[in-house]
C-alpha cells in the first residue's frame, strides 16, 4: 500500500514538473513574440446576430437576395466565385427564367471551337461566377500586388481564433459564424490610423484584418451605393450584413439541412441510449452480482 502511494506521488510530481516546464516553454516564445510584433487582428471580430445561427437557424432569403445584389454590383468587380454555379441561385427563390437572364449578364470563356480557338459567350445557368480578371497575375497587378481572393469558400476559410475558454462554450452554443462575423467586421471596420502610424502607399488601415494592420482592399462600401427594392436601409452596416450572409450561403448552401440532420441524429441517439439502458436492465434483472 505504501509503495502504491509513493509511486502515485512520484508520478504526480513528475507530471507536475512536466506541465510546469511545458507552460514555461509556451510562455517564452509568446513574450518574445508580443514584444516584436503585435497580435493580429488588432481588434476581435464583432458578433452579429445572424438568422442562420444556432441549431434551428435558417437563411433569410430576402437577405440573401440583397446580398447577391451587393456582391454583383460591388464585389464582383474584383472577386470571383468560381465554385458557385448560377443555377444555385434557384435556392434564393428565383425562377429558372430569372436565373437564365441573370447568367446572361456575364461572359465566360469557352472552347476550343472547331478551328482550335478559345472564344467568349454569354453565360448559362450551369456556368460559374467568373473572375473579372484574365488570371491571378492580372488580378494582383490591378490591386497593388494583392489578388482579390475567390469568394466561393471565403466565409468558411476565414475565422479568427477565439481562444480558451470561449471555444469550449462555442461547442454548446454551436457558434459557427466566425466567417461572416469576420467579413462583416472587415467591411465596417475601416478607420483612421492611430497618430504616427505610417500607412504604406496603396494600403488601407483596418484593425479587423486577420494578418496585418493594413491591407490592399480599398473600402468597398458607402451609404446609398446599392439600391434595395424591399425598403431595407441603404447603409454600409446593412450591406455588410447582407453580403456576409450571402457569402455564408455561397460557402455552405446546405447549412440548414445539415443542422436539421444533426438535430435528428441527437434525438435518435437519445432514444437509442434509453432503449439500450432498458435492455441492459431487463437482461441483467435476475442475475446475481
From residue 130 to residue 149, the character string flagging contacts with ligand HEC as x (rule: CB under 6 A) and all else as - is: -------------x--x-xx
DSSP the chain: -HHHHHHHHHHHHHHHHHHHHHHHHHHHHHHHHHHHS--SSSSPPPPP--TT-STT----HHHHHHHHHHHHHTGGGT--EEEEEGGGGGGGT--HHHHHHHHTTSEEEE---TTS--EEEE--TTSEE--SSSSHHHHHHTTTT-PPPPSTTHHHH------TTHHHHHHHHT---HHHHHHHHHHH---PPPTT--PPTT-EE-TT-SS-SEES------TTSS--SS----SHHHHHHHHHHHHHHHH-TTHHHHHHHHHHHHHHHHHHHHHHHHHHHHHHTT---
Cβ proximity to ligand HEC: between 132 and 253 the closer is 132
CA distance 12 to 20: 12
Q: Residue 171 has which C-alpha cell? A: 461547442
Least Cβ distance, residue 149 to ligand HEC (angstroms): 5
Least Cβ distance, residue 78 to ligand HEC (angstroms): 3
Contact pick of 186, 213, 236, 251 for ligand HEC (by CB under 6 A): 186
Q: Is 216 in the site for ligand HEC (CB under 6 A)?
A: yes
Q: Is 70 in the site for ligand HEC (CB under 6 A)?
A: yes
Least Cβ distance, residue 48 to ligand HEC (angstroms): 14
Q: Is 179 in the site for ligand HEC (CB under 6 A)?
A: no
Cβ proximity to ligand HEC: between 127 and 181 the closer is 181
Q: Is 154 in the site for ligand HEC (CB under 6 A)?
A: yes
- Applying the rule CB under 6 A, the residues between 228 and 247 that interact with ligand HEC are 243
Contact pick of 53, 64, 68, 74 for ligand HEC (by CB under 6 A): 74
Least Cβ distance, residue 212 to ligand HEC (angstroms): 8
Q: Is 77 in the site for ligand HEC (CB under 6 A)?
A: yes
Contact pick of 158, 181, 189, 205 for ligand HEC (by CB under 6 A): 158
104 in Cβ contact with 91 (< 8 Å): no
Task: Name the segment binding ligand HEC (CB under 6 A); options: 24-32, 60-68, 214-222, 262-270.
Answer: 214-222
Query: Can you say which residues are annotated as belonging to the binding site for heme c?
Result: 75, 78-79, 217
**Chain residues that interact with ligand HEC, rule: CB under 6 A:** 70, 74-75, 77-79, 143, 146, 148-149, 154, 158, 183, 186-187, 210, 215-218, 220-221, 243
Amino acid at each position: 500500500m505504501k509503495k502504491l502511494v509513493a509511486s502515485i506521488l512520484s508520478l504526480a510530481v513528475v507530471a507536475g514538473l512536466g506541465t510546469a516546464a511545458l507552460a514555461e516553454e509556451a510562455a517564452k516564445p509568446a513574450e518574445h513574440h508580443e514584444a516584436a510584433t503585435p497580435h493580429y487582428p488588432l481588434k476581435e471580430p464583432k458578433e452579429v446576430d445572424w438568422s442562420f445561427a444556432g441549431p434551428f437557424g435558417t437563411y433569410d432569403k430576402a437577405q440573401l437576395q440583397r446580398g447577391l445584389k451587393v456582391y454583383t454590383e460591388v464585389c464582383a468587380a474584383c472577386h470571383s466565385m468560381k465554385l458557385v454555379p448560377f443555377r444555385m441561385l434557384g435556392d434564393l427563390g428565383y425562377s429558372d427564367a430569372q436565373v437564365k437572364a441573370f447568367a446572361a449578364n456575364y461572359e465566360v470563356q469557352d472552347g476550343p471551337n472547331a478551328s482550335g480557338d478559345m472564344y467568349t459567350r454569354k453565360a448559362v445557368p450551369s456556368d460559374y461566377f467568373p473572375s473579372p480578371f484574365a488570371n491571378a497575375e492580372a488580378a494582383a497587378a490591378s490591386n497593388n500586388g494583392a489578388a482579390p481572393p475567390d469568394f466561393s469558400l471565403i466565409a468558411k476559410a476565414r475565422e479568427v481564433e477565439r481562444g480558451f475558454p470561449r471555444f469550449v462554450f462555442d461547442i454548446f452554443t454551436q457558434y459557427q459564424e466566425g466567417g461572416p462575423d469576420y467579413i462583416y467586421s472587415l467591411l465596417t471596420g475601416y478607420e483612421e490610423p492611430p497618430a504616427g502610424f505610417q500607412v504604406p502607399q496603396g494600403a488601407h488601415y483596418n484593425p479587423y484584418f486577420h494578418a496585418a494592420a493594413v491591407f490592399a482592399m480599398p473600402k468597398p462600401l458607402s451609404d446609398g451605393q446599392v439600391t434595395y427594392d424591399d425598403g431595407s436601409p441603404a447603409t454600409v452596416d446593412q450591406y455588410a450584413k447582407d453580403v456576409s450572409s450571402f457569402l455564408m450561403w455561397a460557402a455552405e448552401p446546405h447549412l440548414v439541412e445539415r443542422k436539421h440532420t444533426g438535430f435528428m441524429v441527437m434525438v435518435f441517439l437519445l432514444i437509442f441510449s434509453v432503449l439500450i439502458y432498458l435492455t441492459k436492465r431487463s437482461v441483467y434483472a435476475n442475475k446475481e452480482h
